[in-house]
Structure 1
């Protein structure tokens, strides 16, 4: 119905787990294929190529890349991992801080 379309659109404005997964998988693919000194143009090409490979979500992927292109290029030029990148641009919800505290604690123990 008419309202379903509205609701679906509204859902797309909020971080969704589907978009988060898509973001992470694109970042993972692109990270693997770019060199550490990749140019913004190279990164843009790789992002678009990654979308071509996701066939099923190709259209959503291209929208996503266009919308966040500058952020994605900036982030892909850093050492941030896919999850960090997607969280920074608010596609993925941040992990609860409790998990991170435990994680940091575990790492501290490894040093002994």
Structure 2
């Protein structure tokens, strides 16, 4: 019993050595960079835009590659078959591609069969913003 208490105490010191010695808790240990609220808000907005941009770009590249693989024979079966293979060809975008395909396959199939572009498909599944909203 005391061995477990000792292990727990040692692990607490190893995980947060500076906080344990200084008496600070993790919430009060935030660095003060001297940034104003406006600068912090601007940084948050910039990070959010970058995240939205990455999602949108990843989506468009995935859908474009999928459309290229399907070609002119856009049937439910051919799109589903190509969708099962497309992520293996996406390099660094393999994981976002798998998530995208797994989550939105039904809508992607419908939109490609309807002749929509990669940008339109990505707007439909809310991975990109509509050009009218920018």
Q: Which TM-score band applies after superposition, normalised by the shorter structure?
A: 0.5 to 0.7
Aligned-pair Cα RMSD in Å: 2.4
Greater relative contact order (CA < 8 Å, ≥ 6 in sequence): 1
Bigger CA radius of gyration: 2
Segments of structure 1 that go 5 or more residues without pairing to the other structure are 1-10, 100-112
Q: Which runs of 4+ in 1 moved over 6 A?
A: none
**How far apart, CA to CA, are the structure 1 residues paired with 2:73 and 2:64?**
17
Q: How does 1:1-112 map to 2 (within 5 A)?
A: 16-96=52-132
Deviations 1:3-57 (A, max 9, x none): xxxxxxxx99xx7211111111111112222244432222122123221111212
Segments of structure 2 that go 5 or more residues without pairing to the other structure are 1-46
**How far apart, CA to CA, are the structure 2 residues paired with 1:31 and 1:57?**
16
**Structure 2 length as normaliser, TM-score?**
0.55
Summarize the Cα distance change of 1:22–1:48 in structure 2 as closer, same or farther, 3 Å threshold.
Answer: farther
Contact conserved, 2:58 with 2:96, CA < 8 A, in 1? no
**How far apart, CA to CA, are the structure 2 residues paired with 1:42 and 1:18?**
27
**How far apart, CA to CA, are the structure 2 residues paired with 1:89 and 1:17?**
14
**Structure 1 length as normaliser, TM-score?**
0.65
What is the number of residues matched between the two proteins? 86
The SS at the match of 2:131 is coil
